[in-house]
Amino acid sequence: MRRARRTVLFGMALASANALAASPAELRVTGVIRPGACVPSFAADAEVNFGVIPSSAFKNKKRLALPAKQFRFSIACDVRTRVGVSPYDNQRHSADRNIGADLGEAEPAAPEDVFGLGSDLGHDLGGYEARFVPGTFTADGHDVDTISAAANGTSWIRRRGGQIRHGVVNAWAERGALTPAPIGNLSGMLRIRPVVNAIGEVKQDANLDGSLTLELHYL
């Protein structure tokens, strides 16, 4: 009984003391921990223009390979971060995935390496491949290799030809390594090589309209 009573009295004493105390002043310490943000960018306003292609250039040809064009691709991060990119073909419905042998590359493009050039005048206009040009990439002043893995995968391989492929994430590693390196500023050349389908006699312009999005992945 005494123990029970003491317990009740102790609780009452605390309540009484709190009632007499001054209102507390609260100090809040706040902040946000945020991962580094990275921004990819293209030179040349992200547009590759092959100009006017005369229909006479297709004489006796089923397809016409156009000269490759290169432009600079960069990623800038506000802190050094492991990142990669994967492609999304905005004209995937129009891609002619049989152009690999017409590209003239030492390592022909596989069907999954081909992106669409759009459709016009009732025809799919062909396709193109895109590559990160080997030997041109540097990160924070050091040469790096392009490596790749299946999306959401962890098994990386060296992409010796630099192909940009559907369903694959490309990243960059220190020379000879197979682990994505944290980067602050990355820069190198991206090459586009299109093959245009012959569409027979044309009486008006047919417009190439390829569109490729490179999606950034934080690794």
Contact in structure between 197 and 96 (CB atoms under 8 Å): yes
Q: Whole-model pTM?
A: 0.79
Q: Give the phi and the psi of residue 137 in degrees, each rounded to 5.
A: -95, 135
Q: CA dist 77 to 33, 99, 144, 156, 180, Å?
A: 16, 36, 16, 22, 15
Contact in structure between 65 and 102 (CB atoms under 8 Å): yes
pLDDT at position 3 is 32
pLDDT at position 60 is 85
With pLDDT > 90 as the criterion, what percentage of the chain qualifies? Answer: 50
pLDDT at position 30 is 66
pLDDT at position 190 is 94
104-143 tens-digit pLDDT: 766 667 889 999 999 988 888 999 999 999 999 999 999 9
pLDDT at position 15 is 44
pLDDT < 50 positions in the chain: 1-17
